[in-house]
Structure 1
Amino acid sequence: MTVAEQDLPLQCFYRQEREHPDQIYFTQPTGGGQVVELNWKQVGEQARRMAAHLQSFGWESGSRIAIIGKNSAHWVIADLAIWMSGYVSVPLYPTLTAASVRQILDHSEARAVFIGKLDDWMSMRSGLPEGIERIRLPLSPEESCAHWDDIVAKTAPLAGNPLRAADDLATIIYTSGTTGMPKGVMHAFGNFASATVSANERFKLGSGARLLSYLPLSHIAERNAVEVLSMKMGAHIFFAESLETFAADLQRARPTMFFSVPRLWVKFQQGVHAKMPREKLERLLRIPLLNRIIKRKILAGLGLDQCQLAAGGAAPMPPDLLRWYARLGLEIIEVYGMTENCGISHSTVPGDPKAGYVGLPYVGVESRLAADGEVQMRSGAVMQGYFREPEKTREAMTEDGWLRTGDRGQLDEQGRLRITGRVKELFKTSKGKYVAPAPIENRLAANPKVEACCVMGANLGQPFAVVILPPDVLAACGKDATQRAAVTDSLQAHLAAVNQQLDAHERLDFIAVSGDAWTVDSGFVTPTLKVKRNVVEAHYEPRVDRWVAAKSPVVWDA
C-alpha cells in the first residue's frame, strides 16, 4: 500500500490543528474529580515550545528521547515534541523495574527522558543513567529536574510545521517480553500511516470519535489505535485517572471506540452478574418488552452505550463471551497483530464474525501459512527491524521479506485465520507426544471462574493446567468450605468437558488452583496481561511432583 504524505502522523496533526484549533483534543483528570481540557491549538503550541527546547541541546538528528509514565495528555504532547524536533521517541512501561529501565535506556542510547505520572517512581528512579537529561511532566512525582510548565513558559516555539519523511524513524518500542529480554522494534512514520489507513479501510472510521486512553501508551495497540489514530480522525481522547476511578473515567468518556484485552471484558461481565445473576439476566432478556430496556441499561452502566466499534485483542476472546456481548447488542471485533507490524494484520469483519477466528487480513496486508503452519505476513506497517540487532532482524524476516509472526494458524474455506498456538510453545510429554498449550488454555478460559491459566507438562505423562481464580471467588473459597467445594465441583466438571474435546495425549491430568497473584508487579504477566509462560513454569516446577502425587482432578494450592 502506497502511503500518501497527508496520512503521516505529523501531517495529520497539523491538519486537525489547522481545521479545528478550538476543538477539545484531550480531557485529562487531575485528581479529586477535576479535569483539564486542551484543544488542538494548545497542544500544538506546547509541543512546538518543547521541541525548540529539545533542539537547543544540539543533539544529532535521530537521537533517542525516552518517555516513562502512565497515559496522560502530556505523554502524547512529549511524543509530538520529540517528533517535531527531529528525534526518536522511546516509550517505557510505567511498571518496569529499575534494572529494566536501565537496560532500555542504555540499549537505546537515550539522551533525555520525560518522567510522567507514575505510581512507584522511587523504585524505578535508580535505573536512570548518570548525566541523562530529565524533564518532569505535569502529574509526575519527580521533583529534582526541570518542570514541563516552566520550560514551555520561557521557550519560544519552533516556527512552522516541521515535517518528517515516511521512512524516518519515529519510535523504538521495546517488546514486553513474554519469553526473554525485550527487543527494540523500529517503526517509521510510514509504518504508522500504513497501519491507520488499513484500519480505516476495514472499519470506516468517521470523525468526532471519543476514545478512552488507559492501556499503556508504551504498547503498540494504544500507541496506534489511540494516539496516532486520533490525529488522523480528529478524535477526542479522555485519559483514565486510576484503577479505582476507571468506572467513572469510562462514564465520563462514553467512548465511541473501545479496545480492551479479554480479561477486562470478562471483568465487565462479572460485574454485571454480580448485580444481576446470570439466570435472572437470561430470563429477562427472553421477555420481548424488557429485552431492549435491559440491554440499554447494562451498556449504559458500563459506559459503553455510545460504543460503535468494540474490539478485543492481545489474547483470544472466549466464544461464549463474544456471544454474551452480542446478545446485549455489542459486537466485539477480534483484532490480531503484534508490535512488529503495528498491531495490524487480521481482524474479524463487522457483521460477519466467526467465533475462534481472528478474521481476514486488512487491506494492504498479505498473509500466508508456512509449511509448518506459521502465520507470515507483509505490509507497509511492518517494522524497519530491531534496533542494533541485525541478526535478530534477519531471524524475524524471511528471505523474501515476510514477517515471521511465531504464531501457528489454520485457514477456513473463506480464508479466515484461526490461531492455534505458538510455533515454539509446543512441548513433548514423556510419551513422546507434542502438545500445543494455547488451544487448551482458550477452552479453559471459557469458564468465568478461570481468570488466567497456563498449560504445561513437558516430560510428564499428561499435561496439566495451573489456574488463577478471580480475587473475590478466591477470597470466598478461603472463608467458606461450602463455596470451595462448589468451585471444585465446577472446575472438575469443566475439566471433564474440556478433555472430551481433546485428543488422548492432550487431555489434562488435573487443574491446580493457585493463590498467587498473576500481576505485572509480581512478574507473572506482561503489561498487556499476557502470561509469561517461562516465569510460570519456573515458579511452579518445585510443586509439580506433589500435585501429580495427589491424584485429584482439582488440586488446591491456595
Structure 2
Amino acid sequence: MTLKTPLEMLYHWESKEPSTVYLKQPVLGEVKEFTWKEVGEQVRKIASNLIAMELPKSSHIGLLSKNCAEWFITDLAIMMAGHVSVPIYSTAGEKTIRYVLEHAKCPVIFVGKLDDTANQVAAIGNDIVKLAFPYPDIPADKQWHELLEVAPCTENPIPDLDSVMTIIYTSGSTGNPKGVVHNYRSICWAAHASLKELGVNFKDRVMSYLPLAHITERVLIEIASFYSGKRVSFIESLDTFSRDICATQPTLFISVPRLWTRFQMGVLANMPQKKLNFLLSIPIVKNVVKKKIQQKLGLSEARLCASGSAPIPASTLEWFRTIGVNISEGWGMTENSAYGTCCVPFRADKIGCIGKAYEGVDIRIAEDGEIQVKGPCNMKEYYLEPEKTAEVLTKDGYLKTGDKGSIDNEGFIKITGRLKEIFKTSKGKYIAPVPIESKLMANSIIEQVCVTGSHLKQPIGLVVLSADALKKPFEEIEHSLLVTLEEVNSSLESHAILDRLIILKDEWTVENDLLTPTLKIKRHTLESKYEDLISGDFKGKIAKQ
C-alpha cells in the first residue's frame, strides 16, 4: 500500500468530485454545505495567510474550538503551509490553555466556537496571533472573512510521511497534559487502515461531535474522511444534538459510555423499563417499537455503532441490544492513534471484550498483566519529555498502555482495570475499581459511579443518580440501590465487598473539573474533593451527601 497524506487526498477529491458535498455545518438552524471544491478553495486561502506570516517551517499552530467545518479546513491549511497542528479541547480552562500554548510554543492560534469565549481567549498570551472562525463574539487579530480575502495558495505541497503532523495533548486526568507527537505516517496509517477494518466507504455519513482535540474523532472521523470521501455533518450545539443527528442519519456512529448512558436514560424517561419489556415481548409489536426508538435516537440507518474512550458496562450493551442497536467496543490511546482493537463485526458472546487487535497491530500481555501494543500507528514521542517517553516504550518497541487485561483463545481482549487506578485498602488488599463500577452501572438509576477507598477497611461507591431517578421517593431509590449493592457484593471476593454507597448531590462534569474532556472520571480530583465524605462515619448501607 502506498500511503498518501491528507493533502494528496484533498487534491484527489478537488479534481474528481469538486461538486460533491463533503461537509454540512448547521448555523442558526440553516445548514451550510461545503463541496470539495469549496473546501479546497478555503484551505488554500487560509494556508496563504499562514505562509505570508513567514513563520519558521514546522511551527506549532494552535486550534481551540468546538467541532465545525472550519476546524477541518484549518487543519488541512496548517498542513499545506508546512506547519504542525496543536489542538486544544474546547472545554479547556485557562490553566490548561496557557500550559499547552506555552509548552508547545505556539506563535499562532485559531479560535472558534467556545462556551466561555472571553475567559478562554484571555488565557492566550498577547504575543500569540489570534485568528477567528466565523462565529460571533470571538476577539481576534483577524476574522475569518478577512482570511478569505487573500489569493489562494496555488501550489500542491506533499509533506514527508515521517515529518511531524500534529501534537495531541492528553486530557490530563492525572496531572499536566502530555504532548503526544505523531508524524503523518502513524496517524494516516491508522486512518487509512480503518476503512477496511470498519468497512467505511464513499457512501457513509458520519456526525462529528466528539472533541476533535481527541485522537479518536481526529483519526476515525476527520482523517478517515479524507481517504473515504464520506460526508461529515456537525452539530450546531448540544441543545440541537437530537435535531442534528436525526437530520444526519449517520451510517457510522461512534460515541462514549457517558453519552450511550444518556441515550438510554432518555428512552427510559419516555418509556419505563417494565412497559418496554412488555412491548418487546410481543412478536408483532417488538420490531415496530425497536424501529421507533432507533428513529428517535437518529440511529435507524446506522450499520455500525461503536463505543470507546472508557469502559462501558456490559449491562448497557445488553440493553441496547434489546432495542436492536448493537454497539461494538473499541480501544485505543492517544499514543497509538486510537487504533488498537475493535469488536467488529459485533458478537453478542463477546460483550465485555474490547475486541481483537486490528490487522497490523501486535498486542501482548506483560508479566504484570499490562496490555502492551506495537504497530505503525504508535507515536513518535512525548514532546520535550524524553524521560516519560522512555518510561512508556519498551526496548523492543511496545507501548505500555497502563491497562491491565487478558486475551482469550480467539484473541479477544478484556480490560480488567487501569494499573494506576488499582488502590490498596487499609487491610493491604488491592482493589481494581473499574469491574466493580461496571456491575453497579447495571442499575439504570445510577448515572455515574466511582469506587474508591484507599486507607479504608473496605471500598465504597460514590454514585450520582439520573435525573429521572431524582424524581422518585428516597425510599424507592434506597431499596433499588440496596438490591444492587447486595447483588454486586455477592459476586466479589471478601476484601472487595463494598461497605456502602454514597449518593452525591451534584453530577460530575467537565466544567466542575471532575471529568476529562473525553468524559472520563478524574479519580484523584474526585477523591480529593470528597475526602471528608469518603472517610466519614455512616450508619446505613445507603447514605446521602
**TM-score normalised by the chain length of structure 1:** 0.95
Instruction: For 1:425, give the aligned amino acid.
Output: E
2:540 corresponds in structure 1 to 552
1:486 corresponds in structure 2 to 476
2:147 corresponds in structure 1 to 151
1:438 to partner: Cα distance: 1.2
Work out whether residues 117 and 141 of structure 1, in 8 Å CA contact, stay in contact via their aligned partners in 2: no
- 2:502 aligned with 1:529: no
Correspondence for 1:356 among 352, 358, 366:
352
Work out whether residues 183 and 386 of structure 1, in 8 Å CA contact, stay in contact via their aligned partners in 2: yes
Q: Which moved more, 1:255-264 or 1:285-294?
A: 285-294
- 2:309 aligned with 1:314: yes
- 2:38 aligned with 1:42: yes
CA distance in 2, matches of 1:164, 1:556: 57
1:252 corresponds in structure 2 to 247
1:140 to partner: Cα distance: 4.7
CA distance in 2, matches of 1:196, 1:78: 19
2:291 corresponds in structure 1 to 296
1:238 corresponds in structure 2 to 233
Gaps of 5+ in 2: none
Q: Which moved more, 1:321-330 or 1:520-529?
A: 321-330
Correspondence for 2:445 among 440, 444, 449:
449
Work out whether residues 131 and 140 of structure 2, in 8 Å CA contact, stay in contact via their aligned partners in 1: no
2:16 corresponds in structure 1 to 19
CA distance in 2, matches of 1:425, 1:259: 26
CA RMSD of aligned residues (A): 1.3
1:139 corresponds in structure 2 to 135
- 2:222 aligned with 1:220: no
CA distance in 1, matches of 2:137, 2:95: 19
1:327 to partner: Cα distance: 2.5
Kindly report structure 1 stretches of 4+ aligned residues shifted beyond 4 Å: none
SS at match of 2:446: coil
- 2:81 aligned with 1:91: no
SS at match of 1:163: coil
SS at match of 2:148: helix
CA distance in 1, matches of 2:171, 2:279: 43
1:22 to partner: Cα distance: 0.6
1:9 to partner: Cα distance: 2.0
SS at match of 2:495: helix
- 2:373 aligned with 1:373: no
CA distance in 1, matches of 2:122, 2:88: 15
CA distance in 2, matches of 1:91, 1:465: 35
Q: Which moved more, 1:279-288 or 1:451-460?
A: 279-288
1:143 to partner: Cα distance: 3.3
Work out whether residues 30 and 139 of structure 1, in 8 Å CA contact, stay in contact via their aligned partners in 2: no
1:9 corresponds in structure 2 to 6
Correspondence for 2:96 among 94, 100, 109:
100
1:122 corresponds in structure 2 to 118
Instruction: For 2:406, give the aligned amino acid.
Output: Q
Correspondence for 1:70 among 51, 66, 70:
66
SS at match of 1:311: strand
CA distance in 2, matches of 1:467, 1:273: 19
CA offsets, 1:395-422, max 9 Å, x none?
A: 1100111000000001122121100011
Q: Which moved more, 1:112-121 or 1:203-212?
A: 203-212
Instruction: For 1:242, give the aligned amino acid.
Output: S
- 2:186 aligned with 1:191: yes
Work out whether residues 201 and 363 of structure 1, in 8 Å CA contact, stay in contact via their aligned partners in 2: no
SS at match of 1:490: helix
Gaps of 5+ in 1: 478-482
2:397 corresponds in structure 1 to 401
Instruction: For 2:476, give the aligned amino acid.
Output: A
1:144 to partner: Cα distance: 4.1
1:480 corresponds in structure 2 to none
- 2:279 aligned with 1:284: yes
Instruction: For 1:446, give the aligned amino acid.
Output: A
CA distance in 1, matches of 2:460, 2:434: 13
CA distance in 1, matches of 2:431, 2:528: 18
Instruction: For 1:537, give the aligned amino acid.
Output: E
Instruction: For 2:13, give the aligned amino acid.
Output: Q
Work out whether residues 22 and 39 of structure 1, in 8 Å CA contact, stay in contact via their aligned partners in 2: yes
1:430 to partner: Cα distance: 1.3
CA distance in 2, matches of 1:183, 1:128: 19
CA offsets, 1:307-351, max 9 Å, x none?
A: 011001112222222122223222111010111111110111314
CA distance in 1, matches of 2:492, 2:425: 15
2:415 corresponds in structure 1 to 419
SS at match of 1:5: coil
CA distance in 2, matches of 1:496, 1:435: 18
The verdict on how the C-alpha distance between 1:140 and 1:395 changes in structure 2, with shifts beyond 3 A counting, is farther
Instruction: For 1:551, give the aligned amino acid.
Output: K
SS at match of 2:530: helix
CA distance in 2, matches of 1:293, 1:326: 15
SS at match of 2:415: strand
Correspondence for 1:514 among 487, 504, 516:
504
SS at match of 1:471: coil
Work out whether residues 88 and 97 of structure 2, in 8 Å CA contact, stay in contact via their aligned partners in 1: yes
- 2:434 aligned with 1:438: yes
Correspondence for 1:265 among 238, 260, 266:
260
1:159-198 paired onto structure 2 within 5 Å: 159-198=154-193
Work out whether residues 265 and 466 of structure 2, in 8 Å CA contact, stay in contact via their aligned partners in 1: no
CA distance in 1, matches of 2:49, 2:346: 49
Work out whether residues 430 and 460 of structure 1, in 8 Å CA contact, stay in contact via their aligned partners in 2: yes
Q: Which moved more, 1:235-244 or 1:191-200?
A: 191-200
- 2:379 aligned with 1:383: yes
1:42 to partner: Cα distance: 0.4
The verdict on how the C-alpha distance between 1:494 and 1:237 changes in structure 2, with shifts beyond 3 A counting, is same
Instruction: For 1:402, give the aligned amino acid.
Output: Y
CA distance in 1, matches of 2:435, 2:283: 37
Q: Which moved more, 1:66-75 or 1:125-134?
A: 125-134
Instruction: For 1:502, give the aligned amino acid.
Output: L
Q: Identity over aligned residues, as a percent?
A: 41
The verdict on how the C-alpha distance between 1:368 and 1:144 changes in structure 2, with shifts beyond 3 A counting, is closer
SS at match of 1:99: helix
Q: Which moved more, 1:189-198 or 1:165-174?
A: 189-198
Instruction: For 1:13, give the aligned amino acid.
Output: L
